[in-house]
């Protein structure tokens, strides 16, 4: 079979998501499962979003608006951009694949940090082979080392991914460093600011969204998602913002009807519920601080985070700890797939979820 396959595909290590709740229930015959593996917002979605979803189901026999017009229009207004500077995708993952296919030419490279979102490598390898993907070591604080990345920019560099805050470390690159980096990168490169966790950042004044740089005409692509703070991970909706010329090229490779009717309606409704977003961010901040303290009290090294998850380093093998927790009904995420084999990532859940996790963690560590 391998002889029939594109050789680039053979170089890909498949993305390994957190285990589904149903799998663990069947495997270990458990009644209660707490899943803290995928950085989902565990608050129930707002009533107006649930109503929009139910209402749209009546039209499910019809194709969606392929242009995502009303959602794009609303996003453009909220971000103070023209309509032609916004494109919507089936999650940020589809958009990452689209921009690699659109802009990466033969012989060119994608450049980013190690220990970051693995789909950058998957998308690059699928399209251009593993040799087209370049990683730079993180700094001592497990943060993007922009100075080292800048030193590695060369003629072959085309796309630079900056994940801020970063997944899975939760670390943030501060505004001055981002702005200086953007100023120093040559104009014929494309910088992608993946802002999936932007809404969780404590100090928004020290955060560079990239929108000012887009309005200044720079080759910046900003990625955002409805999967995290908006609580719509199951509907797969993301969007990108850039100058019109970039969006126009991305539209050439966008699949028709790529975002469902239900997804578009739900996203529109969620944008009308600012209280839910604020409540989610505030609750995450409170629960994260408590969870961090509890884990540190267990003697664990935990990385302070500007997201809705925590990366920690157990003294026993993560694979062994993972199995022990699964048997107790707790699903978290080993970080080996992100290039951190000694680490694990846990989502900050609701208070009762976090308490269940800490209870079981104490048990298996002892």
DSSP 170-223: -----HHHHHHHHHHS-TTSEEEEE-TTGGG-S-GGG---SHHHHHTT-SEEEE
DSSP 23-80: HHHHHHT-S--EE-SS----SPPPHHHHHHHHHHGGGTTS---TT-HHHHHHHHHHTT
Q: Which part of the chain is CATH 3.40.640.10?
A: 47-270
* Per-residue confidence (pLDDT) for residue 6, from 0 to 100: 81
For residue 168, say if its preceding peptide bond is cis, omega within 30 degrees of 0: yes
Q: Which part of the chain is CATH 3.90.1150.10?
A: 2-45+274-365
* Per-residue confidence (pLDDT) for residue 190, from 0 to 100: 98
In angstroms, the CA 288 to CA 262 distance is: 31
- As a whole number, mean pLDDT of residues 327-337 equals 95
Of the candidate CATH numbers 3.40.190.10, 3.90.650.10, 3.40.1280.10, 3.40.640.10, the domain formed by 47-270 belongs to 3.40.640.10
- As a whole number, mean pLDDT of residues 348-354 equals 97
pLDDT tens digits, one per residue of 52-92 = 999 999 999 999 999 999 999 999 999 999 999 999 999 99
pLDDT tens digits, one per residue of 22-51 = 777 777 778 889 999 999 999 999 999 999
Q: Architecture of 2-45+274-365 per CATH?
A: Alpha-Beta Complex (3.90)
Tell me how long the chain is.
Answer: 366
* Per-residue confidence (pLDDT) for residue 109, from 0 to 100: 98
* Per-residue confidence (pLDDT) for residue 267, from 0 to 100: 98
Neighbours of 94 (CB within 10 A): 20
Is the model's pLDDT at 18 over the cut of 70? Answer: no
Residue 8: which pLDDT band, with cuts at 50, 70 and 90? confident
Residue 1: which pLDDT band, with cuts at 50, 70 and 90? confident
Is the model's pLDDT at 96 over the cut of 90? Answer: yes
Of the candidate ranges 15-19, 89-93, 240-244, the one whose mean pLDDT is the lowest? 15-19
Pick from 364, 231, 365: nearest CA to 299: 365
pLDDT tens digits, one per residue of 228-237 = 999 999 999 9
pLDDT tens digits, one per residue of 308-324 = 999 999 999 999 999 99
pLDDT tens digits, one per residue of 120-157 = 999 999 999 999 999 999 999 999 999 999 999 999 99
Phi-psi region of 320 (alpha: psi -120 to 50; beta: other; left: phi over 0): alpha
In angstroms, the CA 8 to CA 129 distance is: 5
* Per-residue confidence (pLDDT) for residue 269, from 0 to 100: 98
pTM across the whole model: 0.94
Phi-psi region of 142 (alpha: psi -120 to 50; beta: other; left: phi over 0): left
> Do the Cβ atoms of 321 and 364 come closer than 8 Å?
yes
In angstroms, the CA 285 to CA 276 distance is: 14
Is the model's pLDDT at 9 over the cut of 90? Answer: no
In angstroms, the CA 221 to CA 240 distance is: 7
Mean pLDDT for the chain?
95
pLDDT tens digits, one per residue of 248-263 = 999 999 999 999 999 9
Q: Strands 157-163 and 190-194: what pairing?
A: parallel
């Amino acid at each position: 079979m391998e002889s029939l396959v594109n050789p680039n595909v053979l170089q890909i290590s498949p993305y390994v998501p957190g285990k589904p709740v149903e799998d663990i229930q069947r495997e270990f015959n458990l009644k209660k499962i707490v899943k803290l593996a995928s950085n989902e917002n565990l608050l129930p979605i707002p009533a107006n979003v649930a109503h929009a979803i139910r209402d749209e189901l009546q039209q499910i026999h019809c194709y969606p608006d392929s242009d995502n017009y009303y959602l794009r229009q609303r996003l453009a207004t909220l971000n103070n951009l023209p309509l032609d500077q916004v494109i919507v995708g089936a999650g940020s993952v589809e958009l990452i694949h689209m921009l690699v296919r659109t802009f990466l030419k033969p012989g060119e490279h994608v450049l980013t940090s190690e220990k970051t979102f693995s789909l950058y490598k998957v998308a690059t390898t699928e399209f251009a082979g593993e040799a087209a993907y370049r990683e730079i070591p993180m700094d001592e604080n497990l943060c993007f080392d922009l100075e080292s990345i800048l030193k590695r920019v060369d003629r072959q560099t085309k796309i630079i991914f900056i994940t801020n805050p970063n997944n899975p470390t939760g670390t943030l690159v501060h505004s001055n460093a981002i702005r200086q980096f953007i100023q120093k990168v040559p104009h014929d490169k494309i910088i992608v600011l993946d802002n999936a966790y932007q809404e969780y950042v404590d100090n928004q004044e020290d955060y560079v969204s990239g929108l000012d740089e887009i309005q200044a005409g720079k080759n910046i692509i900003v990625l955002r998602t409805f999967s995290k703070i908006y609580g719509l991970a199951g509907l797969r909706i993301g969007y990108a913002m850039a100058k019109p010329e970039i969006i126009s090229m991305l539209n050439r490779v966008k699949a028709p009807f790529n975002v469902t009717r239900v997804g578009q309606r739900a996203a529109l409704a969620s944008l009308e519920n600012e209280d839910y977003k604020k409540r989610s961010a505030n609750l995450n901040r409170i629960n994260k601080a408590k969870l961090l303290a509890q884990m540190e009290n267990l003697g664990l090294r935990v990385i302070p985070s500007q997201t809705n998850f925590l990366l920690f380093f157990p003294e026993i093998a993560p694979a062994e700890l993972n199995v022990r927790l699964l048997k107790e009904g707790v699903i978290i995420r080993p970080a080996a797939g992100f290039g951190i084999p000694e680490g694990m990532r846990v989502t900050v859940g609701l208070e009762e979820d976090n308490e269940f996790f800490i209870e079981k963690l104490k048990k298996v560590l002892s």
